[in-house]
Amino acid sequence: MSFTRRRFSLAAGSALAFAAKPAFAADPVKVGALYPLSGQVAKSGEDTLNGIRLAVDIINKKYPNLKMPLAADEGLPGLGGAPIELIAADHQGSPETGAAEAERLIVQSKVVALVGAFHSSVAATSSQVAERMGVPYISGESEATPLTERGYRWFFRTTPSSRTQAKDFFTFLRDINKTHNNSVKSIAVVHESTLWGQEFAKSVDAYFKEFPEFQKSIFVGYQQGTADVTSEVQKLIAAKPDAVFHASYDAEAILFARTYKQYGFNPQGIMAIGASFGSSAFRDALGADANYFFVREHWSRDLAARNPLVGEVAKMYRERYGKDMDGTPARAFTAMMVLGDAINHAKSRDPEKIRDALAATDIKGDALIMPWEGVKFDKTGQNILTRGIFVQTLDGTPKMVWPADFAAAKLVWPRPAWR
Amino acid sequence: MSEQLILQLVVSGLGMGFIFALIAIGLTLIYGVMDVVNFAHGEFIMLGMYATYLAYVTWGVDPVLSLPFVAGLMFCFGLVVYYLLIRRVLTGNMQSQIFATFGLMVFLQAGAQFVMGADYFAVRNSWLSGVVRLGDVVLPVPQIAAVVGSSLATILLYLLVFRTSIGRQLRAAAQDPQAASTLGINVSLMYALAWGIGAACVGVAASLLSNFYYIFPRVGAVFVLLAYVAVALGGFGSIHGALIAGVLIGLLQVVIGFFVSSELKYVPVYMLYLAVVLLRPRGLFGRS
């Protein structure tokens, strides 16, 4: 009797000990991702989220041939091999929905960090929630400058802001003028009128002082989702600028390009911020008319010539998602890698420790797929080691043409006439 | 201020305006005959555009040639929507009717994204592309085609509604369904026809739009809001009201966009609508 009772209590005790054991170190680390998965930019939202999914997969599985942090091990070694569990939420392009979803992810899904949001307007509100609730928020692709000017502790941004990107446009034109007889004198700006477009216009405006050889021509703002851009284009025709800077999402890029062709509007060069004028959707819709547009890009597949890692990751993206990677998924991918790296260094799921690890991030350029010098955040949470490139669509393919030292093709300036 | 610029602005404004008008006419017909607001009207545009695009990409059929087929397809779709959905909620209260068409809108948008993806498509190099040059003036062919196509469709519709026996029956069913049915008119069939014809109008507009606009699941939203304004402005139930209001809106947005501000170009449209609603609620030509 007492023998079996002892055995029983021994067995029961060990069973209870197992049941009461705290969470395994290998339990997944939950990260929330906020992106527009329905609505006007659903395509871009999904493509961007796929960049993050790819990064999560590389972190979670073993890829010993990829020379980047966390690729060779399974999961996060600093947390006993714990995998990252990505929980995606659709903010539909609405700042209010973004904030609500951020709160839901933090409170109900108990994520340790947030990644997002494509739209700067949604990044603004959702990161506000994260700041209030003490959860790290990393943005790989929301560019509006004010996002890092709010004095937040919990917000980090790996992508360059609109302001730093605007400067690249002027640097580029100054370079063009050196080899093309100073032919560019006036600059016009066409921009959509939400936070992103307005910020770009403001940033460009501020740089005319630093680059006095250029004059400000007309600035045309337009409503996203406009049915017709005739009045906008006619204003540009009347102003006769030498160069046009564009801040547009995919849809209007197509509309503007077609309307430019209709009215024969042909400045020396049209250069865009954001991938729209170089995207596959744009090239499919316009065919040969997509040629000669410039895009100030964050990333190009041509970078693989300098760093093979770029080609390998781009190939994986293409194989899994059936589309070519472009600058936005590439940056989202990078942001997720930076976050994974920080959580790994923090060796903890505690948001405060993750935040501190993010603030101390120091990743070298060759571990990234971006043309940056590295990732290092300043006091405001902005990555200060970024660099831009210009890509021009030639013969239907976007080719990196600037800076000249790692150009894959020679740039064409001025634009030839519309055929 | 050159004449060529004014002419270009006018042609473009008319082009967009006639498209808004045709969409609005489809909407006002449905409302006029049976007092139901079709919240899924924008999605009818979207479906028509996808149909045009798919015909172009699969069989190489130019939008000009597929226009009658797209109109016919949308006519059948309108009938289907009536028989499967609308007929059941007609006996209910107004909220049910609103929810029914609103739900249809959400379903069609999500369905389109599910089937076709969220990508943007465009018909490249249709026959009605390019420009016509009259001296210095550049007139885009798609916009001219929109004016011509929409005008023809409107004239045909007018003839149908006011000069045929079916049209008389439609108007009778609209005026007083009970009296009409005692006279032997099949009111339910008239309602179905209203949906079919309303959808067919949108099909024509969608086909014309495909010559120059890009196609994606939410494309309806871009045009339908202005179409609702045109219907309210012109007067619910009035075909020529919708026509005039649509054209007016098209011209207004291009003129304000050029001379005042592109960001605010729809503001005067909505302000005009507000003024009409406050001062003359039945719209310019509506019945009181």
CA-based radius of gyration for chain A: 24
pLDDT band at A250 (very low <50, low <70, confident <90, very high): confident
Nearest-by-Cβ selection for B258 from A223, A235, A285: A235
Paired tokens of A101? 């979803």
Q: Which residue of A has its CA nearest to B215?
A: A251
Query: What CA–CA distances, in Å, run from A381 to A93, A103, A122, A355, A367?
Result: 24, 21, 18, 10, 20
Query: What CA–CA distances, in Å, run from A298 to A48, A140, A276?
Result: 14, 11, 12
Residues of A in contact with B118 (CB under 8 A): 38, 41-43, 45-46
pLDDT the model gives residue B143: 87
Q: Which residues contact A400 (CB under 8 A, 6 or more apart)?
A: A297, A300, A302, A303, A389, A390, A391, A406, A407, A408, A409
* Helix pair A308-321, A327-346: axis angle to 10 deg: 110
pLDDT of A329 strictly over 50:
yes
Q: Give me the residue spans of the domains in chain A.
A: 29-160+304-375, 163-297+389-406
Interface of A with B in 135-164 (CB under 8 A): none
CATH superfamily of A163-297+389-406: Response regulator (3.40.50.2300)
Taking CB atoms and an 8 Å limit, are A234 and B5 in contact across chains?
Answer: yes
Nearest-by-Cβ selection for B214 from A231, A254, A262: A254
Same CATH fold, A163-297+389-406 and A29-160+304-375? yes
| ipTM of predicted complex | 0.79
Nearest chain B Cα distance for residue A366, angstroms: 33
- Omega of the bond leading into A414 within 30 degrees of 0 (cis): yes
pLDDT of B267 strictly over 80:
yes
pLDDT the model gives residue B287: 65
What is the mean pLDDT of the segment spanning A268-289?
87
Residues of A in contact with B211 (CB under 8 A): none
Nearest-by-Cβ selection for B120 from A193, A232, A250: A250
Taking CB atoms and an 8 Å limit, are B120 and A251 in contact across chains?
Answer: yes
Q: Which residue of B has its CA nearest to A258?
A: B212
A238 touches B: beta carbon within 8 Å: yes
SS (H, E, C) chain A: CHHHHHHHHHHHHHHHHHHCCCCCCCCCEEEEEEECCCCCCHHHHHHHHHHHHHHHHHHHCCCCCCCCCCCCCCCEHHHCCECEEEEEEECCCCHHHHHHHHHHHHHCCCCCEEEECCCHHHHHHHHHHHHHHCCCEEECCCCCHHHHCCCCCCEEECCCCHHHHHHHHHHHHHHHHHHCCCCCCEEEEEEECCHHHHHHHHHHHHHCCCCCCCEEEEEEEECCCCCCCHHHHHHHHHHCCCEEEEECCHHHHHHHHHHHHHHCCCCCEEEEECHHHHCHHHHHHHHHHHCCCEEEECCCHHHHHCCHHHHHHHHHHHHHHCCCCCHHHHHHHHHHHHHHHHHHHHCCCCHHHHHHHHHCCCEEHHHCCCCCCEECECCCCEECCCCCEEEEEECCEEEEEECHHHCCCCCCCCCCCCC
pLDDT the model gives residue A383: 94
What is the mean pLDDT of the segment spanning A81-89?
95
B266 part of a folded domain: no
Per-residue pLDDT tens over the stretch B58-94:
998 999 999 999 999 999 999 999 999 999 898 888 8
Nearest-by-Cβ selection for B120 from A38, A258, A281: A281
B273 part of a folded domain: no
Tell me the average pLDDT of chain A.
90
pLDDT of A249 strictly over 70:
yes
Q: Which residue has the higher pLDDT, B133 or A84?
A: A84
pLDDT band at A253 (very low <50, low <70, confident <90, very high): very high
The full DSSP string for chain B is --HHHHHHHHHHHHHHHHHHHHHHHHHHHHHHHH----TTHHHHHHHHHHHHHHHHHHH---HHHHHHHHHHHHHHHHHHHIIIIIHHHTTS-HHHHHHHHHHHHHHHHHHHHHHH-S--B---S-TT-SEEEETTEEEEHHHHHHHHHHHHHHHHHHHHHHHSHHHHHHHHHHH-HHHHHHTT--HHHHHHHHHHHHHHHHHHHHHHHTTTS-B-TTHHHHHHHHHHHHHHHH-TT-HHHHHHHHHHHHHHHHHHHHHT-STTTTHHHHHHHHHHHHH-TTTTT---
Cβ-based interface (< 8 Å): residues of B facing A: 5, 8-9, 12-13, 16, 110, 113, 117-122, 124-125, 130-131, 138, 140, 212-214, 216-218, 221-223, 226, 253-258, 261-263, 265-266
What is the mean pLDDT of the segment spanning A84-109?
96
pLDDT band at A284 (very low <50, low <70, confident <90, very high): confident
Q: Which residue of B has its CA nearest to A253?
A: B214
Residue numbers of the domain that contains B143? 26-220
A323 touches B: beta carbon within 8 Å: no
- What distance in Å separates the CA atoms of residue A120 and residue A247, rounded to the nearest whole number? 13
Residues of B in contact with A226 (CB under 8 A): 222, 262, 265
pLDDT the model gives residue A1: 46
How many domains in chain B? 1
Nearest chain B Cα distance for residue A112, angstroms: 30
Which has the closest alpha carbon to A149: A339, A379, A345, A340? A379
A377 touches B: beta carbon within 8 Å: no
- What distance in Å separates the CA atoms of residue A296 and residue A395, rounded to the nearest whole number? 18
pLDDT band at A29 (very low <50, low <70, confident <90, very high): very high
CATH superfamily of A29-160+304-375: Response regulator (3.40.50.2300)
Nearest-by-Cβ selection for A281 from B12, B119, B254: B119
pLDDT the model gives residue A20: 45
8 A C-beta contact, residue A165 and residue A201: no
Taking CB atoms and an 8 Å limit, are B5 and A193 in contact across chains?
Answer: no
8 A C-beta contact, residue A143 and residue A153: no
Taking CB atoms and an 8 Å limit, are B5 and A281 in contact across chains?
Answer: no
Paired tokens of B279? 């001062």
pLDDT band at B21 (very low <50, low <70, confident <90, very high): very high
Taking CB atoms and an 8 Å limit, are A230 and B118 in contact across chains?
Answer: no
A14 touches B: beta carbon within 8 Å: no
Q: Which residues pair with A273 in a beta bridge?
A: A247, A296
Per-residue pLDDT tens over the stretch A149-167:
999 999 999 999 888 889 8
Which amino acid, one-letter code, is at B283?
A: G
B251 part of a folded domain: no
Q: Which residues contact B15 (CB under 8 A, 6 or more apart)?
A: B140, B142, B143, B144, B146, B147, B250
Taking CB atoms and an 8 Å limit, are B258 and A231 in contact across chains?
Answer: yes
Residues of B in contact with A229 (CB under 8 A): 262
Nearest chain B Cα distance for residue A307, angstroms: 31
CA-based radius of gyration for chain B: 19
Tell me the average pLDDT of chain B.
90
Taking CB atoms and an 8 Å limit, are B223 and A286 in contact across chains?
Answer: no
Interface test with B, best of A262, A265, A277 (most B CBs within 10 A): A262
Distance of CA B140 to the CA centre of its chain: 21
Per-residue pLDDT tens over the stretch B174-226:
888 899 989 999 999 999 999 999 999 999 999 999 988 889 898 998 898 89
β-pairing, A397-402 with A215-222? unpaired
Q: Which residue of B has its CA nearest to A265?
A: B138
A232-243 exposure pattern, b = at least 16 Cβ within 10 A, e = fewer: bbbbbbeeebbb
Nearest chain A Cα distance for residue B183, angstroms: 45
A263 touches B: beta carbon within 8 Å: yes
A220 touches B: beta carbon within 8 Å: yes
Taking CB atoms and an 8 Å limit, are A285 and B122 in contact across chains?
Answer: yes
A235 touches B: beta carbon within 8 Å: yes
Taking CB atoms and an 8 Å limit, are A43 and B120 in contact across chains?
Answer: yes
**Residue whose structure tokens are 């170089």:** A278
Taking CB atoms and an 8 Å limit, are A221 and B214 in contact across chains?
Answer: no
Residues of B in contact with A251 (CB under 8 A): 120, 214, 216
Taking CB atoms and an 8 Å limit, are B216 and A43 in contact across chains?
Answer: yes
- What distance in Å separates the CA atoms of residue B221 and residue B214, rounded to the nearest whole number? 13
Is the model's pTM score more than 0.90? no
B14 part of a folded domain: no
8 A C-beta contact, residue A399 and residue A302: yes
- Omega of the bond leading into A117 within 30 degrees of 0 (cis): yes
β-pairing, A113-116 with A269-273? unpaired
Nearest chain B Cα distance for residue A338, angstroms: 29
Q: Which residue has the higher pLDDT, A225 or A344?
A: A344
What is the mean pLDDT of the segment spanning A178-203?
91
Per-residue pLDDT tens over the stretch A383-395:
988 888 999 999 9
Paired tokens of A260? 């430019």
List strands edge to edge, sheet with A113-116: A84-90, A29-35, A113-116, A137-139, A155-157
Cα atoms in the 13 Å half-sphere on the side-chain side of A358: 33
pLDDT band at A407 (very low <50, low <70, confident <90, very high): confident
Nearest-by-Cβ selection for A232 from B222, B223, B257: B257
Which has the closest alpha carbon to A252: A279, A225, A273? A225
Torsion of CA B147, B151, B154, B159, to 10 degrees: -170
- What distance in Å separates the CA atoms of residue B223 and residue A239, rounded to the nearest whole number? 29
Q: Which residues contact A227 (CB under 8 A, 6 or more apart)?
A: B16, B213, B222, B223, B226, B253
Paired tokens of B92? 């209910």
